Amino acid sequence: MFVLLAVLGAVGVVFGVLNIVGHATGPNGVPFSFENYGGPGPIIAGLLLVAVSLYLRSVWRERD
Question: Is 29 part of any domain?
Answer: no
CA nearest neighbour of 10 among 59, 32, 43: 43
Pairwise CA distance, residues 63 & 6, whole Å: 22
Pairwise CA distance, residues 7 & 1, whole Å: 10
CA nearest neighbour of 45 among 3, 11, 2: 11
Question: Is 14 part of any domain?
Answer: yes
Question: Is 9 part of any domain?
Answer: yes
Provide the pLDDT confidence category of residue 23 given band limits of 50, 70 and 90. low
Mean pLDDT of 52-57: 90
CA nearest neighbour of 45 among 2, 4, 15: 15
pLDDT at 3: 86
Question: Is 12 part of any domain?
Answer: yes
Domain that holds residue 13: 2-23+37-59
Number of domains in the chain: 1
